[in-house]
Amino acid sequence: MNQRIDIDFNFVPHPLTGDLAVKTGKRVVVQTIKNVIETSFYERGFNVGFGTNVRSSLFELHTPLDKLTMADFIREAVRNFEPNLRITDIEISNENNDENTLTLMIKYTELSNPHIEQVAITLDRLR
Amino acid sequence: MTRAELTPTTFDHHELKRSLIEFLKTKETFRDFDYDGSAINTIVDMLVRNTVYDSFLANMLANESFIESAQIRGNVVAHAQKLSYVPRSRVSARSVVDVDIIPVNPPTGNFVIVADPGVTFVTSVGGATFTFSTTEPQSFTYNGATKKYHATDIELYQGHYLKRNFNYQGEKIVVPNDGIDISTLKVTVNDNIVSPYNRVSSITDMGASSNVFFIYESNTGEYEISFGKNVLGREPSVGSTVTLEYISNTQLHANGARSFMAGITIGGYSNIEVRAKQPAYGGMNREGIESIRFNAPRAYSNQDRALASYDYVYLITKEFPFLKSVISWGGEENKPPKYGTQFIAIIPDEGIEITRSLKNRIEAYIRSKSVGSITPKIVDPNIFDTHLEIKYIVRDRVTTTSRAVIESRIAEIVTSYSEDVLSRFGAYYNEAELSELLKGIGEVESVIINEKFSHTFNTRRGYNDRHIIDFDNKIAPRSVQILGANIVDDASNERIVDDGNGRIVYSYDKAGVHRTLNIGTVNYETGVVDFVATFMQPEPGLQVEIRVEEQNFYTRSHNIVRITSLQCSEFSKSDRV
């Protein structure tokens, strides 16, 4: 199977060629998961259902029930928009609740690779 | 490598995105990219979004570039302006009244009261109160015999009279009122000399020194007034005062108002009697986009002159927009021909008659637009009355709806059919169409309609006149009769009917003797009834009644058909054959 390839969202030029840098393999998967989770509903034109509502929940109280609901949303979004991945576990922590920061520890497998990988995503308020 | 091409022939964003991704996948660089939740997917989404917006913008620009497809009023109006077409503003309902002022004591010296424009009168229509105003100074003259000040034929316009002064700075003057009726607008310029300015109707009859103004609707919907820059009309000097006087009106119109009361005192007197000479008519809203789209090209082809028959129709309906139906034809089409005359027939919006004063105004206006030696002449519509006898069969014998309710619904439909479908030039009575409308009543299973048609003709008592009545439809034999005729003194059982063989026969009894005379003919094919008689009954007219061979009554030229009487009953067993 071809390995996954994608443009780097940071748009950093390649240091030697000056071309737009690309990402490959696991780094693409991580970027994709972050892209799905960090996009809010109605943000994507003509595809308003793309993404999750996680960013808007930064200012919630984050009770255990809220965290379960948030995890369900993330699972559903990844299942819809990145069907090659399967989420095995999601940990949501908000130790720094006063600063409206959430840390998501997501464990996943690729359909073509049963090895469990994990990615940590930190969501901060923008200002 | 698979060859793929972009197919940007659709505005559907899903199709565009799929097409773009398929295209990118054929390129070596992007072949293995992930196109689902990836960064490049976000970029593709943005490209598609941009494409759709650009497509929409291009489509919108193309649409708005033509009067046929523009959707924004400002753009439709701008295209119309290029064709020298000024869309109709709101039009005030108007009426003509006579006014009496009754002083408590006879005046000692002041026998004439002059009232400035803006005298208000109030009326009520459908529970709503409306204000009417004068636009001209009015003189009320004291009559010692009646002990009243009196003024006649005062024209009232619905709305408020406004007068605004502008300091002219060489720029367009924007009328700060979207309720203006521009047909009432008067412009005067005071640059040491007070001069009235007239609205431009044609640039062919004016020069650099003509006192004229131009009026257009702006992009924002307001009216703008400009002057001719000393080329197409005299330009007021900078700093002069431009005065606008006009009627400003609301969106609700008082058409049909018949009784008015003075809204203010006149000359200090409050006991004022107002008599309307005709109900208020002609109130209309601002011309809509579709109407502008239709009329502007026709105004351009018309070139503000009446040449062909449709020019007459167009010019009259534009200048007098409250008319319901207008038709015009050359006199050469008449039988016998009348060369050099252009005939016009008009139906106003309210009622079926047109007043003499309105007829004079229309005739004077259209004469000013006629070319050559053509003489326009307004004639009355040729009216044919329909008398209906309707028998209906109820769908469900156990319906709870009373027969009175069913019959009132039938009457409503017949009235609406007569007023909305018939009663205009070119419309014809269609029995099948009326029958379908009546069967739309839930309780009515079917209807049987019998109709007679009549025409009222004028008679002169004691004159031996020839009467030719052209029904222009095939007449059923033995159906012609003239009702209420009196020809021979002391006669009884007078009847004028057709004999079924094309003759009009007059029969009567006198001194115990029954007599019969042939007085004319009827052509059943062409529908012409032609007879000579000396009628002795009081004027003004008699009715000739017929049945037609077909179920429809067709109209042509200035003939119109309307329904004037209705008899309605349930179909009973005795009606069965």
The pLDDT assigned to B157 comes to 95
The pLDDT assigned to B1 comes to 43
Cross-chain Cβ contact A47/B32 below 8 Å: no
State which residue of chain B sits closest to A36, comparing Cα positions: B37
State which residue of chain B sits closest to A9, comparing Cα positions: B39
B278-282, B445-449, B452-456, B573-577: range with highest mean pLDDT: B452-456
Q: Which helix (H) or strand (E) holds B262?
A: strand B261-262
Q: Which CATH class is domain A5-124?
A: alpha beta
Residues of chain A with pLDDT > 70, as a percent, come to 95
Task: Assess whether pLDDT exceeds 50 at residue B534.
Answer: yes
Cross-chain Cβ contact B37/A82 below 8 Å: yes
DSSP B87: -
Min Cα distance A66 → chain B (Å) is: 25
Task: Assess whether pLDDT exceeds 80 at residue B46.
Answer: yes
The pLDDT assigned to A120 comes to 92
Q: Per residue in A29-69, pLDDT tens?
A: 899 899 999 899 998 878 888 899 888 888 877 788 888 98
Cross-chain Cβ contact B40/A7 below 8 Å: yes
Of B355 and B124, the structure prediction assigns the larger pLDDT to B124
Cross-chain Cβ contact A7/B34 below 8 Å: no
CA distance B570 to B448: 10
Q: In B, which residues are within 8 Å of A8 by CB distance?
A: 39
State which residue of chain A sits closest to B52, comparing Cα positions: A46
Amino acid at B231: V
Interchain contact A20–B (C-beta under 8 A):
no
Task: Assess whether pLDDT exceeds 60 at residue B34.
Answer: yes
Min Cα distance B56 → chain A (Å) is: 14
Cross-chain Cβ contact A35/B33 below 8 Å: no
Min Cα distance B40 → chain A (Å) is: 6
Which residues lie below 8 Å from residue B393, measured CB to CB, with a gap of 6+?
B444, B445, B446, B447, B570, B571
How confident is residue B172, by pLDDT bands cut at 50, 70 and 90? very high
CA distance A18 to A5: 18
What is the CB neighbour count within 10 angstroms for residue A55? 19
Task: Assess whether pLDDT exceeds 80 at residue B204.
Answer: no
Of B236 and A47, the structure prediction assigns the larger pLDDT to B236
For chain B, list residues whose CB is within 8 angstroms of any CB belonging to chain A: 13-14, 32-34, 36-40, 42-43, 45-46, 48-49, 52
Task: Assess whether pLDDT exceeds 60 at residue B2.
Answer: no
Task: Assess whether pLDDT exceeds 90 at residue B486.
Answer: no
Q: In B, which residues are within 8 Å of A36 by CB distance?
A: 37
Distances (CA, A) of B390 to B441, B554, B564: 14, 20, 13
Task: Assess whether pLDDT exceeds 80 at residue B575.
Answer: no
Cross-chain Cβ contact B42/A47 below 8 Å: no
Written as six digits, the tokens of B170 are: 């060489």
Written as six digits, the tokens of B371 are: 């070319």
What is the CB neighbour count within 10 angstroms for residue A67? 19
Written as six digits, the tokens of B563 are: 């329904």
pTM, 2 dp: 0.67
Q: Per residue in B328-356, pLDDT tens?
A: 999 988 878 899 999 999 987 765 457 77
| Averaged pLDDT of chain B | 88
> Average pLDDT, stretch B487-494?
85
Please list the residues that pair with B284 across neighbouring strands. Answer: B91
Name which of B38, B44, B51, B55 to mutate to probe chain A: the one with the most chain A Cβ atoms within 10 A of its Cβ. B38
Interchain contact A60–B (C-beta under 8 A):
no
Of B33 and B479, the structure prediction assigns the larger pLDDT to B479
Cross-chain Cβ contact A83/B32 below 8 Å: no
Cross-chain Cβ contact B32/A4 below 8 Å: yes
Give me the residue label for tokens 């002609």. Answer: B282
Nearest to B164 by CA among B247, B283, B90, B275: B247
The pLDDT assigned to A66 comes to 86
The pLDDT assigned to B184 comes to 93
DSSP B169: -
Of B72 and B26, the structure prediction assigns the larger pLDDT to B72
> Average pLDDT, stretch A4-24?
86
Cross-chain Cβ contact B34/A6 below 8 Å: yes
Cross-chain Cβ contact B49/A6 below 8 Å: no
State which residue of chain A sits closest to B49, comparing Cα positions: A45
Amino acid at B81: Q
The pLDDT assigned to B5 comes to 61
Residues of chain B with pLDDT > 70, as a percent, come to 95
DSSP B417: I
Which residues lie below 8 Å from residue B222, measured CB to CB, with a gap of 6+?
B174, B175, B176, B178
Q: Per residue in B383-402, pLDDT tens?
A: 999 999 999 988 766 677 78
| The three-state (H, E, C) secondary structure of B467-526, written as one string | EEEECCCCECCCCCEEECCCCCCCCEEEEEEECCCCEEEEEEEECCEEEEEEEEEEECCC
Cross-chain Cβ contact A32/B33 below 8 Å: no
- The DSSP-derived string for B187-252 is EEEESSSEEEEEE-S-GGG--TT--EEEEEE-TTS-EEEEE-TTTSSPPPPTTPEEEEEEEE--SS
Cross-chain Cβ contact B37/A45 below 8 Å: no
Min Cα distance B396 → chain A (Å) is: 54
Among the ranges given (B18-22, B195-199, B530-534), the one the predictor scored with the smallest mean pLDDT:
B18-22
Interchain contact A38–B (C-beta under 8 A):
no
The sign one gets for the Cα dihedral B160, B161, B165, B171 is positive
Nearest to B460 by CA among B517, B532, B384, B528: B532
Cross-chain Cβ contact B36/A84 below 8 Å: yes
Q: Per residue in B51-99, pLDDT tens?
A: 888 888 999 999 999 999 999 999 999 999 998 888 999 999 989 999 9
Q: At what angle do helices B289-302 and B309-319 cross, to 10 degrees?
A: 130
